[in-house]
Structure 1
Amino acid sequence: MDLKFVTCTYIGVYGHALTKGKVYQAVAEEDDRFRVIGNHGKRVWIDKYYFANGEVEVPILSSWKFDDPLDDFDLIEVTVTFSNGMKRWCLITTPERLVNHFKQLHLDPPGFNIQHLIIVRTMNNEDIGQTLKHLDEQGDIEKATLFLE
């Protein structure tokens, strides 16, 4: 096999072996998987779905910030910024804040579907940061946020 490089696009269950955005040398290849030397120094077969061919830029979550004061709303707007400068946004709330939102007397309509709503245990920066990082590493951050121009 010729020297082949692949870039990890998400880590899935391979957090012990992969880093999103890192370039790995494929030491072997089959139809549906690559054999790479993981972060732990061992050779491991991993489905091709986790990689892009070649050395490519993979946007990685670099920061996030609240766009609303925490005391003013039950659903808080958050902007997330990626390593390539791209910005996306989402709504973040807790189970308690969501219940409080539905206690409003004049809520119209009385229900909603928001795909860019992330529910966290607390509004603590660590909980939110850890949740956003997990979504990014799993390749779900784009499904959980909307593009911000």
Structure 2
Amino acid sequence: MKKGETIYCIDESLYSDHITKRKSYRIEDAKLDQIKIPNDRQKLVWLPSHCFTDSIIPDIKSINIDDEINDNYNSCVEVTIKFSDGTKRWGTFMTINRLNKLFNNHRHYFTGKNLIFTQQINKDIIERTIMELDKQNELYKNTNEY
């Protein structure tokens, strides 16, 4: 990353007071693993370069709960996420109570790739969780390619 280049935020988690996911920024200065940019309030700040990429990243266009939620405190549902570039990802949301029931049914272990555990499941919690994972650049590693 070099002075004068346009970059895009991919991880705002620790710096949400300064940067916004997917927003573009112009590099004013760069050194080692740090870059200097005008933040969202146009104040110059130094931030880690790992929070940025040189290519536009797709927006989340929709979040679809693929299964019916019968019990907000004891459920397991799959969710499909669609992006502006046409790609899709899916993930599984499971409540802690549902996991405990699996163990109470004489299971000694439970495996699952990219499970997201919550205490309660509803549309709002699923959407907020997906947006938070996205802001932290953790959505792709916690969901599966469609």
TM normalised by structure 1 equals: 0.85
Any residues of structure 2 matched to 1:30-45 within 5 Å, and which?
A: 30-45=31-46
Distance 1:65 1:137 in 2: 19
Residue in structure 1 matched with residue 13 of structure 2 by the alignment: 12
Deviations, residues 8-33 of structure 1 (Å, cap 9, x unaligned): 11212011111111110111111211
Indicate conservation of the 8 Å contact 2:3/2:27, yes or no: no
Q: Any gaps of 5 or more consecutive residues in structure 2?
A: none
Code of the aligned partner of 1:33: Q
Residue in structure 1 matched with residue 114 of structure 2 by the alignment: 116
SS of residue in 2 equivalent to 1:24: strand
Q: Any gaps of 5 or more consecutive residues in structure 1?
A: none
Could you tell me the percent identity over the aligned residues?
Answer: 28
Kindly state the Cα deviation for residue 128 of structure 1 after the two structures are TM-superposed. 1.3
Distance 2:100 2:67 in 1: 19
Distance of aligned partners of 1:140 and 1:74 in 2 relative to their CA distance in 1, 3 Å threshold: same
Kindly state the Cα deviation for residue 138 of structure 1 after the two structures are TM-superposed. 0.7
Distance 2:67 2:102 in 1: 16
Moved more, 72-81 or 134-143: 72-81
Q: How many residues align?
A: 143
Deviations, residues 80-115 of structure 1 (Å, cap 9, x unaligned): 11222211111101112221233335x5xx422223
Give me the CA root mean square deviation: 2.0
Distance of aligned partners of 1:102 and 1:52 in 2 relative to their CA distance in 1, 3 Å threshold: same
Indicate conservation of the 8 Å contact 1:77/1:91, yes or no: yes
TM normalised by structure 2 equals: 0.86
Structure 1 outlier segments of 4+, above 6 Å: none
